[in-house]
Amino acid sequence: MEALQRPHFSAHEVEVVESYIGKTISNVVHYYWKNKMDSEGITLLYAVELFFDDNDFVVIHTGNTEEDARIRFSDTDMVSEKIAIENQFNGAITLVGVDVGKVEPWSIMRGKTIIRMEADLDKDTQRFFADYLIFSSKEGEVLLKIGEFGDGLEVHPFYRDEE
């Protein structure tokens, strides 16, 4: 069985990540991919939109998972994205935006300055892996990673082991 290859950030994406250090998160919205035809109501975290106090924002998503699941960054207008998805799937699929800035785990980051963002370094290639990011402020940390099966994102509080 072939080993799963972990994706890497490009040099440009590393610069993008570094550009968010020092910014203050003003709010966070999760966008869930919702299949209206699915009676079980299964949803998937499609994208996370971070808003900053300087009126900048970023949409973090996994892109087209048929190509390669990895964390990506864009300035996508999520209202337009929702309309495009609904049109593409004849209304069977929609995106549902949920303001999560005041709930865990994002509540520990809202109104706080990002002091560090972390990803694993591939020692063989000297490139950073693009399968998770840790957002850190003085008050706490949030882990954003690719979903378990390569679809969508997962977001969790992050706690470091005390040694």
Query: What is the count of structural domains for the chain?
Result: 1
Mean pLDDT of 122-143: 94
Residue 2 in domain: no
Tell me the pLDDT band of 163, cut-offs 50, 70 and 90.
low
Between the CA atoms of 56, 57, 63 and 69, what dihedral angle is there, to the nearest 10 degrees? 100
Tens-digit pLDDT profile for residues 31-74? 999 988 877 766 789 999 999 999 999 999 987 655 678 899 99
Tell me the pLDDT band of 153, cut-offs 50, 70 and 90.
very high
Residue 4 in domain: no
Residue 20 in domain: no
Give me the pLDDT at residue 16, please.
Answer: 92
> Which of these, 2, 3, 18, 4, lies nearest to 128 by C-alpha position?
18
Residue 163 in domain: no
Residue 1 has pLDDT above 50, yes or no: no
Domain containing 58 equals 11-15+26-157
Residue 142 in domain: yes
